[in-house]
Structure 1
Amino acid sequence: MEFSKVLKSFLFAIAVCLTFLAHAQPGSVANAKWPKQSVRIIVTFTPGGAPDILARVLSESWQQNLGVPVLVENKPGYGGNIGADLVAKSEPDGYT
């Protein structure tokens, strides 16, 4: 039961990310020469679980396609609030 909740949450997060990517305008400032530095993926679950494994598999293909390192960081705790707080307080540059 817990695994299905985790999987549903992670799939929802990916769907939200894909929605934002679909709305990106070609040639806009947001798409100009991105990325210039490494990209971080914050996983709000412990290492070794399904969300972590999926993030690491995706990061490998993103790293090949983007040409920059894609780092996966696990920040579990408080129902995902630690990782969400880290993302909320990070620079709004699109790299986290």
Structure 2
Amino acid sequence: MKKEELIPQYLQDELREINDIRPPYSFEEITKLKDLLDHTLKQEKQLEEAEAYGAIPKEEADITNLVLTVKHFVLQESIKDAIKQLENDIEEKKRELEELKRGN
């Protein structure tokens, strides 16, 4: 069995979607990252409930849990990078404003 076959297709698609969002981040991309993180948190909760009720085979639950953990981590790091980018943008705009004030 290939590694790709172990990971459900929808999770592969979601990971690809996250991977396609790269810096510099637009406002829409930052919003999308936040929405994807919210969705991932819901998926983690649903998986936890499915495991508790025995509704999902253990091996499938373990693989899904691993993929969701990776997805969660990548989203968190991407959001941290986006926040740093926004902070840098704010500082740059403040410097530009100060230069304009000094020029007038």
Give the structure, 1 or 2, with the largest relative contact order (CA under 8 Å, sep 6 or more).
2
More strand by percentage = 1
TM over 0.5: same fold?
A: no
In the superposition, the TM-score normalised over structure 1's length comes to 0.36
Larger CA Rg, structure 1 vs 2: 2
In the superposition, the TM-score normalised over structure 2's length comes to 0.34
More helix by percentage = 2
